[in-house]
Structure 1
Amino acid sequence: MAQDQSANPPAPAPEEPDPRRWKALAVCLVAGFMTLLDVSIVNVALPSIRKGLSTPESDLQWVLSGYALAFGLFLIPAGRLGDARGRRRVFMVGLALFTLASASCGAAQSSMWLVISRLVQGASGGLIAPQISALIQQMFRGRERGKAFGMFGTVVGISTAVGPLLGGLLIQAAGTEEGWRWVFYVNLPLGALCLLLARRLLPDTPDAHPVGLRRLDPLGVVLLGCGVLALLLPFVQSQQWHGNAKYLLLVVAAAVLGVFVWWEARCGAMGAQPVVELSLFKVRSYWLGSSLILLYFAGFTSIFFVTTLYLQNGLHYSALQAGLTITPFAVGSGAAAGLGGRLVDRFGRPLVALGLTMVAIGLAGTAFAVHQVPGQGAGWAMLVPLLFAGLGSGLVIAPNQTLTLSEVPVHRAGSAGGTLQTGQRVGSAIGIAAVGSVFFARVGEDGWSTALDHGLYVSVAFVLGALVLALADVLAGRRDHRRAATRERDAAYTGGATRSP
């Protein structure tokens, strides 16, 4: 008698991974490299920009902070838009706009033209960045996901740190008056190539579907943007707005962000789709990792800002010499990032705590070296501590990204990744403003080396704040493990007692 096949239907075959996933990852990483490179590459170009366009100091500040601000404000809505409309589509739109904005930056004939182009460039980068994290979540599983995030962490570390060196090389080759334009033009061939490959290699978003504007929570986007803007303005404009009245904007920021949280909770209760899923912050790994990376980026990216100013203006290094001095950080970060991605599954948050400790020691050592070896030799004295700090940085970014997103559902990956990276950009803007304000206040009083010392001390304070959060998570994890072990032991004892005669 033939068996009834309907009674035992065959198990569904496991989903096969996309055979093009590694090529698609390469496209994502190149695009990510461009957007993150433009955070730091402009640092060494500022003197050249000022000379070429007769740019005032306030506009130079906006060339840096405007990019970070626009980048951060667009990350969360872009992540949500990618989840809803398709990550490949949003990625390609952002990449096309970023390439065009880079061309506009390079062609700028006035400082206002450059600032506006940088704002558009930052917003375009904000469209691209959350799609990368979401696509990694979508394309990879298990250990492959950790490896992919490790590669992404390498790109984050290298692109942010190698920017001054690449900018110095371009300015050295093209000249101090016009070389800054090639800092932006370098994005054009890479952007065009990535755009062609993205259409062929990036996967569609399986659960994407057209949605109306109201379901994208435009009011939430506006509230969040206004709150973050009010938070950052006193720091970004600290050198231009005199007096303490500007800090009243922090009260405004707290109020607006409070309304934002209330509105997002109300959207969730009504069954709508808020721009930020507040339920994500009920997960310890997510809210702690997001807070940690905000503080870390405040200390991490600000060191390039003050160090290049010190080297070029204080020691009269060329742009290339300044970039070469910071290269050991990039080398160390790149070397350790892949290792961090492979070790995160084994060691977890303690690996991040170790990396943060190394960064704090390396930055403190950099300040000490400058104090001990003043003058032209300071650049040589900085090499070893910067290398050590870079090795630590490689153990922070990729492992933290993996741990923070480890419990996030794939269909919320875009929003979660956008929120995480918003913390990075907000941290960068606050860190540059806070460290820069201390740096400039000390330059006039005590000279360039003392100014760098105090700026790096503030950077170390941010890194130590991130370390406190990492240690708190380690201790909480051990407490949870002990409680789970106690419950298992009690359950085993109770079960044994019940079975006893």
Structure 2
Amino acid sequence: MTLLDVSIVNVALPSIEEGLDASESDLQWILSGYAVAFGLLLVPAGRLGDAKGRRLLLVVGIASFTAASVLCGLATNSAFLAIARLLQGAAAGLVIPQNAGVIQQMFRGKERGQAFGLLGAVIGLSTAIGPLAGGLLIQAFGEENGWRYVFLVNLPIGLVLLPFAWKLLPGRTRGKGDDSLDPVGVVLLGAAVVLVLLPLVEEREWETAAKWLLLPLAALVLAAFVLWERRYGRTGRSPVVDLALFRRRSYTLGNAIGTVYFAGFTGIFFVYTLFLQQGRGYSALEAGLAQIPFAIGSGIASGIGGRLVHRAGRRLVVVGLALVAVGLIACDVLVSEVEGGGIGWALALPLFVAGAGSGFVIAPNTSIALSEVPPAESGSASGVLQTGQRVGTALGIAVVGVAFFGALEGSRGQDWAGALEDGFRISTAFVVLALLLGLADLLSGRRRRTPDRAPASPR
């Protein structure tokens, strides 16, 4: 539910605009408010789950998300909907870190990789299948009110999930850890995340270049956060983020690869959906169907990747990144070669390849990143990992959007294929950067495993 609502709203924007007479600024906040609130809550919610119990946080998050979804569906104006989306994003931020935390708590070794494989399948499928789900609902209920069911569909799902979550998930595991929640650290980190996300998600709405001044301000706040966390840790209490996590190479590189990859992985779907609907005349449903090959490839490969990651490790991630890059390059080549409505069929195979690669990246990278993290810290560690992915998503949409809309404006709205090609190239560059990080890790790891050998004595 939480990740589906990141992408499902894209195809519903024309329906929301018509149904609520919403302005472009309203629509931007309906999208970005969710993203900002989502990113803001991830780390503190993970820490809270570590301290107070993940089942409790997950149940509260699901109940809150379901209630906020109903508010979204009943919105009477665009301001009401934007506020409800903020609440929905905050609830999503409560839920997401608990998933990885529960997996860390319940599974070990090969089984943990398989569990992360299933989680990766859900992430890949929900992100890619969102436009299809939105298109089906709008097709069924009409342009004017179809958008309401994009949100209301979460009500029956949430009601079914809640009793199962309470019954089946493990309760709080009491340990020797400190339950303090580090409120100063939470505020500093939250401020840094908001200062990073705002200029990215509002890139097209805030036309003044002054918005980028928020990024150096974010760096200063982040530096203050690091200093505070070190000081807080020296008192013997548990900081919201244990900075010692970043001494673990697997965790640091997993964060870096995940952030950069999500910038490439999610940015392209934003512009591809616009290209299909506005550039090639696809309906919301047809645009969603065109993205199904990626979802199928991702779902299949995620299950396979979960079984292989225990043996293959980072090599599997590198292979996946290479497949994604190959798929996106093929899409770039084909876009200008195929005219009219046949583009969806032409890109089906490359998108399937890219989706399969994505399935070898998301879950295995998460599993590797958290492999050395103690279960008692897995919630906050997962929150940091997910925050990086949200920042990457916002960065990718902003940068790909600049290239896409800039090319459109330069051609006076005529060269949709050229604009999408620019978007594919930016996304590919992000994926290649993630691939280089993975290769550097492999090469470095190989050097560390190879002991220095003395020269052999001559016979």
| TM-score bucket (shorter structure) | over 0.9
Equivalent position to 1:193, from 120, 140, 160 = 160
Question: How many angstroms does 1:349 deviate by?
Answer: 0.5
1:53-452 alignment, distance < 5 Å: 53-207=20-174, 215-446=180-411, 447-452=415-420
Question: How many angstroms does 1:208 deviate by?
Answer: 6.1
Question: How many angstroms does 1:59 deviate by?
Answer: 2.1
Question: How many angstroms does 1:273 deviate by?
Answer: 1.5
* Cα distance in 1, alignment partners of residues 345 and 175 from structure 2: 53
* Cα distance in 1, alignment partners of residues 84 and 373 from structure 2: 35
* Cα distance in 2, alignment partners of residues 423 and 76 from structure 1: 10
* Cα distance in 2, alignment partners of residues 476 and 210 from structure 1: 34
Q: Which moved more, 1:225-234 or 1:111-120?
A: 225-234
CA contact (8 A) 1:78 1:130 kept: yes
DSSP-derived class of the 2:206 partner: coil
Question: How many angstroms does 1:235 deviate by?
Answer: 2.0
Q: For residues 313 and 388 of structure 1, do their structure 2 counterparts lie closer, same or farther at Cα, with a shift above 3 Å needed?
A: same
Is 2:446 the counterpart of 1:481?
no
* Cα distance in 1, alignment partners of residues 339 and 228 from structure 2: 54
Deviating beyond 3 angstroms after TM superposition, the runs of 4 or more aligned structure 1 residues are 208-212
CA contact (8 A) 2:28 2:205 kept: no
Q: For residues 210 and 51 of structure 1, do their structure 2 counterparts lie closer, same or farther at Cα, with a shift above 3 Å needed?
A: farther
1:123-180 per-position Cα deviation (integer Å, ceiling 9, x unaligned): 1011111111111111112221111111111111111111111111111111111111
Q: Which amino acid aligns with 1:378?
A: I
Q: Gaps (5+ residues) in structure 2? A: none
Is 2:432 the counterpart of 1:464?
yes
1:240-259 per-position Cα deviation (integer Å, ceiling 9, x unaligned): 22232221111111111111
Please, what is the CA RMSD of the aligned residues? 1.6
CA contact (8 A) 1:332 1:389 kept: yes
1:420-440 per-position Cα deviation (integer Å, ceiling 9, x unaligned): 111111111121122112212
CA contact (8 A) 2:116 2:306 kept: yes
CA contact (8 A) 1:86 1:208 kept: no
* Cα distance in 1, alignment partners of residues 159 and 360 from structure 2: 32
CA contact (8 A) 2:323 2:354 kept: yes
* Cα distance in 2, alignment partners of residues 383 and 402 from structure 1: 29
Q: Which moved more, 1:114-123 or 1:202-211?
A: 202-211
DSSP-derived class of the 2:295 partner: helix
Q: For residues 129 and 404 of structure 1, do their structure 2 counterparts lie closer, same or farther at Cα, with a shift above 3 Å needed?
A: same
Question: How many angstroms does 1:40 deviate by?
Answer: 0.9
Q: Which moved more, 1:359-368 or 1:276-285?
A: 359-368
DSSP-derived class of the 2:2 partner: helix
CA contact (8 A) 2:178 2:238 kept: no
Larger Rg: 1
Question: How many angstroms does 1:311 deviate by?
Answer: 0.7
Task: Give the percent of matched residue pairs that are identical in Structure 1 and Structure 2.
Answer: 58
Question: How many angstroms does 1:210 deviate by?
Answer: 11
1:253-312 per-position Cα deviation (integer Å, ceiling 9, x unaligned): 111111111111111122222111100000000000011101111111111111111111
Q: For residues 381 and 463 of structure 1, do their structure 2 counterparts lie closer, same or farther at Cα, with a shift above 3 Å needed?
A: same
1:376-414 per-position Cα deviation (integer Å, ceiling 9, x unaligned): 222222111111100100100111011111111111111
DSSP-derived class of the 1:372 partner: coil
Question: How many angstroms does 1:209 deviate by?
Answer: 8.7
- Number of aligned residue pairs: give it: 452
Provide the TM-score with structure 1 as the length reference: 0.88
CA contact (8 A) 1:348 1:403 kept: yes
